[in-house]
Amino acid sequence: MKLIALEEAFWYDGLETDGTIEGRSPVKPVKQADWERRLGDFTEFRLPEMDEAGIDMQVLSLTAPGIQMQPDPKVAVADARAANDFLAAVVRERPDRFQGLAAVPLQDPDQAVAELRRAVDELGLCGVLVNDHTLGHYLDEPRYAPFWEALQQLGVALYLHPNPVPSDAWHVLEGYPGLDHALWSWNHRTGGHALRLIFGGVFDRFPGAQVILGHMGEFLPAQLFRVDIRFRDLDPQYQNHLEKPPSAYFGANIAITTSGVFSHPALMDAVQTIGVDNVMFSVDYPYEESVPAAEFMRTAPLAPADKARVAYGNAERILRLDR
């Protein structure tokens, strides 16, 4: 069975922005070192692991936090261009195995639009990945309206990925650094950002916009029933004049991937909640292992046609990989 994985990280050492979060990470040093060794590689480790797992294509993206926390807008612009040029060169070397999601310098919204257009129209990248907030700014803010307009016009998706650097402190996590990581808080912060997009009316203003959430939807599919019920009971002044219930934006504007969540019950819950056409296979390489991820997909309790949609068909359609 064909497999396309679309939350697969890389790093490029030619950037001024520091790409590591050493000193913050509670992960074992040996594991951190292994990840860093694999992030910059495309042939020694990556392709052999893809071959062993039977993964046909990785859609590559600059690992978190990417350039999202670069305080100098000019550096962010230069690094986004350099990262995208490097990524496009990797894709040109093996277009049968790799595609790419662009980095964008949202520190300067006008430059982000320009780089998005260049990455898609000139470099041939298939979308964009943003690591949650950019220096504390969220994508529902009015300053990003031209960026959403460009995404909609170009017809490319935005992958909203966690940012390991929090925008503020959650006191509930104090003393438990393991919780302030991929284990728990990253998912909730990113899911909160997605809810900001819904409640901020982004998809009402830009109905053609497409967002992708990883990690089985950052916990949101399992909560959508409750979100709708509690939304219904809000005082109208807090409903923000949304055109439809929050859950209705899933499928219409939001799709998800399985990255890092290789659980058949979680998969079936997502498929039943938001529809099989809105769930896509991903690994989260190198942070997760490709072989068990592929086995999870191949043994999923789905009808063959539905399994094919999740394994590769939805990715080809949403990212326009078959163009």
DSSP secondary structure, 83-130, as one string: HHHHHHHHHHH-TTTEEEEE---TTSHHHHHHHHHIIIIIT---EEEE
Q: Answer whether the bond into residue 65 is a cis peptide, omega within 30°.
A: yes
With CA atoms as reference, report the closest residue to 127 among 52, 5, 211. 211
DSSP secondary structure, 187-251, as one string: HHHHHHHHHHHHHTTHHHH-TT--EEE-HHHHT-GGGHHHHHHHHHTS-GGGTTT-SS-GGGHHH
Residue 290 token pair = 């490709």
233 catalytic residue (yes or no): no
With CA atoms as reference, report the closest residue to 168 among 182, 184, 189. 189
Residues forming beta bridges with residue 257, ordered by sequence position: 280
Q: At what angle do helices 290-298 and 46-53 cross, to 10 degrees?
A: 30
- Cα torsion 317, 318, 322, 323 to 10°: value is 120
Catalytic residue among 79, 108, 132, 284: 284
Chain Cα centroid distance, residue 54: 22
In whole angstroms, give the CA distance from residue 39 to residue 290.
14
- Residues annotated catalytic, as ranges: 284
